[in-house]
């Protein structure tokens, strides 16, 4: 705690995401530019806000994340506190998905899963990941190859879904979108382009994120900056 601020790390970057578990433990993941990979930290004790000036002790996760994956990171927890992460793989200009069962998962358990979701163009900027009502990860992101065009915003929806295992989650039937050997799409993620009214300004400094949520029927709604703030909504087939 320093001058009214709680310091997490002095080696972070602009790419970070935060979530709070069902037990009120705070998880923060950020891209460490010195290490060229993501780092996950979590509060040793629950943080309830009852004493907002109290110091928070942070532990560093034992998980070692893949190198060069972490720009434009987004993180969401499923209902069992399983951790789902989307990010840009700057080594290959691909969209990456990472799953970790818990912030307490150990490297030795070898339970972290890292998949490539999309590799068509330079994809994975400004990601946002959510879990829909079916337990399927949904990722909204931009295709930098289409900057300045109306086809820059994309959605990827997993065909597989999270599965409960007692009081925890497993990755269930979620698989890679790109085969690691053949480099072809697997059919295990559905991709769609979100039609824009005006060209999304993904390359502009005023463009800060792609927003994703769901309407009352569970359909994805995506917001972004074009000439104005716009949104696109999926319709029933």
Strand partners of residue 165 = 168
Looking at residue 4, what is its pLDDT? 58
E strands, the chain, in order: 16-20, 26-32, 37-43, 58-60, 69-77, 83-89, 94-100, 113-118, 123-131, 137-143, 153-158, 163-165, 168-170, 189-193, 211-214, 220-225, 229-233
Looking at residue 65, what is its pLDDT? 98
Looking at residue 1, what is its pLDDT? 44
Looking at residue 6, what is its pLDDT? 66
Cβ distance 63 to 40 under 8 Å? Answer: yes
Cβ distance 112 to 58 under 8 Å? Answer: no
Looking at residue 227, what is its pLDDT? 92
Residue 23: left if φ>0, alpha if ψ -120 to 50, beta else—which one? alpha
**Regions of the chain with pLDDT less than 70:** 1-7, 10
């Amino acid at each position: 705690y320093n001058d009214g601020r709680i310091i997490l790390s002095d080696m972070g970057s602009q790419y970070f995401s935060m979530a709070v578990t069902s037990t009120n433990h705070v998880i923060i993941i950020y891209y460490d530019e010195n290490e060229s990979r993501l780092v996950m930290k979590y509060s040793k004790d629950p943080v309830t806000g009852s004493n907002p000036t109290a110091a928070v002790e942070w532990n560093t996760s034992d998980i070692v994340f893949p190198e060069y994956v972490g720009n434009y990171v987004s993180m969401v927890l499923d209902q069992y506190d399983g951790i789902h992460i989307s990010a840009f793989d700057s080594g290959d200009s691909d969209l990456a998905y990472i799953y970790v069962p818990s912030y307490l998962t150990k490297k030795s358990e070898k339970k972290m899963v890292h998949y490539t979701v999309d590799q068509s163009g330079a994809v994975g900027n400004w990601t946002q990941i959510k879990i829909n009502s079916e337990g399927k990860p949904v990722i909204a992101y931009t295709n930098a190859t289409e900057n300045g065009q109306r086809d820059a915003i994309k959605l990827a929806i997993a065909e597989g879904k999270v599965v409960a295992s007692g009081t925890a989650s497993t990755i269930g039937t979620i698989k890679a979108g790109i085969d690691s050997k053949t480099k072809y799409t697997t059919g295990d993620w559905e991709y769609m382009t979100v039609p824009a009214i005006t060209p999304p300004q993904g390359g502009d400094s005023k463009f800060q994120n792609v927003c994703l949520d769901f309407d009352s029927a569970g359909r994805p709604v995506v917001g972004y900056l074009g000439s104005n703030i716009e949104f696109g909504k999926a319709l029933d087939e």
